[in-house]
Amino acid sequence: MKIAVTGGCGFIGSHTVDLLLRNGHDVIVYDDLSTGSPENLGSGSRSVYGDLSTGILEDLGAGAKLYVGDITDRTELDAFFTQVRPEAVMHMAAQIDVQASMNNPSFDANVNIMGTVNILDMCNKHEVKRFVYSSSAAVYGIPEYLGIDENHPKNPESFYGYSKLVPETYIRKMSESCDMTYGIIRYANVYGPRQRAEGEGGVVAIFTNRMIKNRDCIIYGDGEQTRDFIYVKDIARANVLALESKMNFTANASTSVATSVNELFNVIKKRYGYRNKPIYKNAREGDVVHSWLTNDRIMQILEWNPEFDLKAGINDMAGVK
C-alpha cells in the first residue's frame, strides 16, 4: 500500500516507517524537520539522500522517500498529495511540547488542529481510503478513575491535550462524508530510541542520557507517582496494524501497567550500572499522581498486545540506535 506518513522523521514516526517498510509498504514521509531528523530514516533497511531544500528526495535503496513540507502550508500539502496520491495517511506530525502549548496556544493549535484539518481536506480531495491518527492520553486530563478507558471524561489539563482531542472529532466527522475509514490511537507515555527529552514520555530519555553521562537524576515528588510506559516498537506495531485494518475505531495503546518513577529509575539504573541515588525535589504543581490506561479495546480490534515490558524495553533500547 502507498502510505504517506506525516511526522515520519520524528521519534515514533521513524519507528513506524521502519516497520511499514519491513511489511513491504511504499512509504513517503511528509515532515518539516522542526523536531525530526532525516537521520532517523537512515537506520534500518534504508537511506535517504539528496538535497533537503524542498520536494521529494529520492532514496537510493528500498527505503522511504522524504518530502520536506509543513502541514500548515496548504499549497505545499496539495502539491504533495497530487504528486504522491497516497492510499492511506498515518498522521503523526504535531508539536508535542506541553509547556510550549501553554506558552503559545495559537502556535500549538495552528500545527495540531489546523494542520490536521488541512490534511483531512487533502484526504477528502485526493480520495484517501484510510487515515490513522496519533492521539494522546493527554485528552483525558486528571484521571477520575483508573485504568482510564476510552469512555473516561475528556478534560485536558493543557492546550496540547485539547489540540490532540479536537482533531479526533474532525476525523470522525470527515469519515462520515467521504469514503475514508479511520483509526484513532491514544498513546500512553511512549519511550525508546531516538526520543528527545521534551516529549510526553521524556523522563526515560532524560534518565538514560544522564545516567550514561554519570550525571545526577532529579525526581520531582517522592517518586511514587505512576505512569504507563509503552515501548515505541509496540506503538509502531499498533500503528501499522491500524493502517492495514479497515475498522473505524478510537482506542488506547498502553501496557495497562502502572510503573512508579522510582521503579523506572531503578530499572534504568540497573541496566546502565549507575551508582548514584536520585535527587528528590518538590513535586511539580499540576502533575498527575497516578495514570494507567486500559488496552482491551485495541487488543480486540487489532489483535495487538504489548510485547515489551519495561525491563525488555529498556534492554532493547540499550542495543538499538
Report, as residue numbers or ranges, the catalytic residues: 160
The residue among 1 and 100 lying less far from ligand NAD, judged by its C-beta, is 100
Q: Is 134 in the site for ligand NAD (CB under 6 A)?
A: yes
Candidates 26, 70, 263, 309; binder of ligand NAD (CB under 6 A) is 70
**Least distance CB 215 / ligand NAD (angstroms):** 23
Most distant CA pair in the chain: distance in Å?
Answer: 58
Question: Which range, of 51-59, 87-95, 122-130, 244-252, touches ligand NAD by CB under 6 A?
Answer: 87-95
Cell numbers 489540540: residue: 163
Distance CA(243)–CA(235), nearest Å, equals 12
Contacts of residue 36, defined as CB under 8 A and 6 or more positions apart, other chains included, come to 7, 8, 9, 10, 11, 13, 14
The residue among 115 and 274 lying less far from ligand NAD, judged by its C-beta, is 115
Q: How many residues bind ligand NAD (CB under 6 A)?
A: 32
Q: Are 223 and 191 in contact (CB under 8 A)?
A: no
Q: Is 12 in the site for ligand NAD (CB under 6 A)?
A: yes
Q: Is 31 in the site for ligand NAD (CB under 6 A)?
A: yes
SS3 241: helix
Q: Is 41 in the site for ligand NAD (CB under 6 A)?
A: no
In the shown chain, the binding pattern of residues 156 to 175 toward ligand NAD, with x for contact by CB under 6 A and - for none, equals --------x-----------
Distance CA(77)–CA(138), nearest Å, equals 27
**Of 197, 167, 193, 190, residue with least CA distance to 293:** 190
Q: Is 115 in the site for ligand NAD (CB under 6 A)?
A: yes
In the shown chain, the binding pattern of residues 209 to 238 toward ligand NAD, with x for contact by CB under 6 A and - for none, equals ------------------------------
SS3 256: coil
The set of cell numbers assigned to 168 is 479526533
Residue 209 exposure: Cα atoms within 13 Å on the Cβ side: 14
Distance CA(248)–CA(33), nearest Å, equals 30
The residue among 190 and 264 lying less far from ligand NAD, judged by its C-beta, is 190
Question: Which range, of 81-89, 198-206, 218-226, 289-297, touches ligand NAD by CB under 6 A?
Answer: 198-206
Q: Are 48 and 42 in contact (CB under 8 A)?
A: yes
Q: Is 136 in the site for ligand NAD (CB under 6 A)?
A: yes
| Residues in a beta bridge with 249 | 183
Q: Is 189 in the site for ligand NAD (CB under 6 A)?
A: yes
Q: Are 188 and 146 in contact (CB under 8 A)?
A: no
Candidates 20, 64, 71, 293; binder of ligand NAD (CB under 6 A) is 71
By CB under 6 A, name the binding residues for ligand NAD: 6-7, 9-13, 31-36, 70-72, 92-96, 111, 115, 134, 136, 164, 187, 189-190, 199-201
